[in-house]
Structure 1
């Protein structure tokens, strides 16, 4: 049986929750954008971003579980982006993930947001040949 993961990302201004089965099957993947929340300010306001994450993360988790047909009892482990990002935003995702992991008695894995980008290639179903070179250019973070 493939393990079920509840994954949470609140590194910047989007709140994302996914339910994965095994390493390559996405059962649900939801993102709530805060673009409109920050548009009037000409950019992301960190305090507003973290407050919005706090407002929407629980309903987003509930909807992801509903769409995937998975219950909390079915989750085998949690994954959360814990670095790099806006401190307040990260705090919301990490705190919610740690709380759920503790309540469910499940392990939690911290994920480096930037280093995780190359691994999205594995979700395409096309095997990668190693060694390989990958460039990530995202906001204020670049990785080669």
Structure 2
């Protein structure tokens, strides 16, 4: 049994996308024909939007480490994600992979990892393990 240690650094693509999303509320407020009460309500919704935006943006800027074994065990080093076992449902694309896992309590988790978050050999190893877990037959997590 071998394990792969993967260090995820902050994604430049995700940060650019988040910066573009930050422009949305000012554009809506600038071009909306709303007046009075509705304008205040929209400003309150923009505040809630920025609160959520900032929490996601701060989380995107942190480095994370994970370990994957050949038999599908996943261990996160950090407070944000729980460890578990890879499940079917992962997706591999040219620029991103979708990581699906189930923790010890049975809760299903998923996370998108972009290509610029890790080195090329780590990205290929991650993609291979996701494909292996998605195509493995007879496991408890497959339908």
User: TM-score, normalising length from structure 1?
Assistant: 0.26
Name which one, 1 or 2, has greater alpha-carbon Rg. Answer: 2
